[in-house]
Each structure stands twice: as C-alpha cells, then as structure tokens.
C-alpha cells in the first residue's frame, strides 16, 4: 500500500451555505446559486480531479443516478422489491429491471427478504424516491458472504489512494469484496478470512481520520 493519501491533508470542514472558492466543477454536496457554488451539507470538502465535493459527516446515504450500491431486500411485492440502501427511503427494484422473467406474485422466489444485490441507481425523482436496476454492467444477486455497513464518508478511505487499501485487504485475506457507494460492503471467502477483512474495514471506518492508519492496517493484516 502507498503512504497516507495526500488528499487527506487538503480536506476542510465546511458548513451548509459556505462559499466554495474554487474553479472546479460542482460535485456531491454542492449547489450553485448566482454563479457561485456553495456547500449544501455539513462535511469535509475535497477538491481534486476537476470536481469539488463535500462528503457529509453524518446522515443517510443520498442516492445519485449511476451510483453502484449494495441493496438488501426489505420487502417483496407482486411485481417489485423494496430495497434497503441506507437512504431515508427504501429504493424500488421493479421486476422489469431485475433481468429475470418473474411471474406476477412470485418475486420472493427470485429475491427474498434479507437477500443482497449489487445494483445501480438509475432513477431519482424530485420527491426523493429512487429506483435501482440489475441490468447495468456487472450488477447481480450476491450469494453467501457478509454485509458490513460503514459511514459513506469513509468509503474513499477504505478504497485508498488508487485502490491501494482495498487491494491490500483483498490480497492479504484472499476475499472477494464489493464496496457500494452507499457504505454497504459485501465480503465473501472463507470464514476466518472474512472475519479479518471485516475487522480491517471496521477499523478504517472507526479511525478514518487517525494518523498512521495505513501502517496499522498493514500490521493487522499480517496476523
């Protein structure tokens, strides 16, 4: 793994309504007004790759079209599933977006309560409701494994600079890991390997702003 990401040093705590003085394009947690851009949430700003973002310190996941997420089935209906994605409202998966030929009223046979999927947010309306799809790219049902929930603001820290942190965790534990932008993480492998990967991820989530975290995780993974 690489040393601590230099991007951490430029993070700045901002309040809703704070003016963001930058030439970058507005990203997450930003709104534009009269030619200026402002923070829309309480969080840490990051200005890189041509975009200014504010990652909320707390609060639920705010879905954006195109986000890749892990969703857990919370309710089944005759032709839809209600999916927990860590947002204020459950998301909807319609049978037509599942990729399966689902007879009316038979949704639970394909996806039961508690089952997880790797999905994409493909619709968000003005009222805040949203829908997910399994027909995009590598989206699919997730079998076996464990779901770990982390703060969405720590997802980038868990991934690491150029994917260094999550790559190290995968290689050292020999596990398969999918990280949802909603803070839900799927880990699959042997029992003791899953437990070690989960411990590493939960440590990063708890100590995301701590100095020397990279070395601490390296040491943990050597056990």
Residues 207 and 160 in one domain: yes
Q: What angle do CA 119, 127, 56 make, to 5 degrees?
A: 65
Residues 47 and 111 in one domain: no
Q: What is the pLDDT of residues 108-136, one digit of tens each?
A: 999 999 999 999 999 998 778 899 999 98
Mean pLDDT of the chain: 89
* Averaged pLDDT, 61-78: 95
Nearest-10 Cα torsion for 155, 51, 31, 209:
30
Decide the pairing of beta strands 51-56 and 25-26: parallel
Among 142, 163, 178, the domain boundary falls at 142
In a domain, 62, yes or no: no
Least confident of 30-39, 168-177, 192-201: 30-39
Residues 81 and 107 in one domain: yes
Which pLDDT score is estimated for 4? 42
Range of the domain at 199: 146-221
Residues 138 and 198 in one domain: no
pTM: 0.74
Which pLDDT score is estimated for 176? 97
Q: How many domains does the chain have?
A: 3
| Spatial separation of the C-alpha atoms in residues 170 and 172, rounded to whole Å | 6
């Amino acid at each position: 793994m690489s040393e601590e990401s230099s991007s951490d040093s430029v993070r700045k705590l901002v309040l809703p309504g704070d003016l963001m003085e930058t030439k970058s394009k507005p990203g997450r947690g930003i709104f534009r007004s009269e030619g200026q851009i402002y923070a829309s949430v309480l969080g840490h700003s990051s200005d890189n790759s041509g975009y200014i973002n504010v990652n909320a310190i707390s609060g639920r996941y705010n879905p954006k079209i195109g986000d890749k997420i892990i969703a857990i089935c919370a309710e089944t209906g005759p032709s839809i599933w209600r999916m927990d994605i860590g947002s204020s409202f459950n998301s909807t998966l319609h049978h037509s977006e599942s990729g399966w030929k689902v007879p009316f009223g038979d949704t639970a046979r394909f996806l039961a309560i508690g089952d997880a999927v790797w999905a994409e947010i493909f619709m968000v309306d003005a009222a805040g409701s949203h829908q997910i799809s399994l027909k995009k790219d590598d989206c699919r049902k997730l079998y076996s494994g464990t779901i770990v929930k982390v703060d969405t603001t720590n997802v980038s820290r868990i991934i690491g600079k150029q994917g260094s942190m999550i790559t190290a965790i995968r290689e050292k534990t020999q596990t398969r890991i999918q990280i949802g932008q909603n803070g839900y993480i799927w880990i699959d492998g042997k029992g003791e390997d899953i437990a070690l990967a989960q411990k590493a991820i939960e440590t990063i989530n708890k100590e995301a702003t701590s100095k020397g975290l990279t070395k601490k995780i390296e040491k943990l993974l050597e056990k």
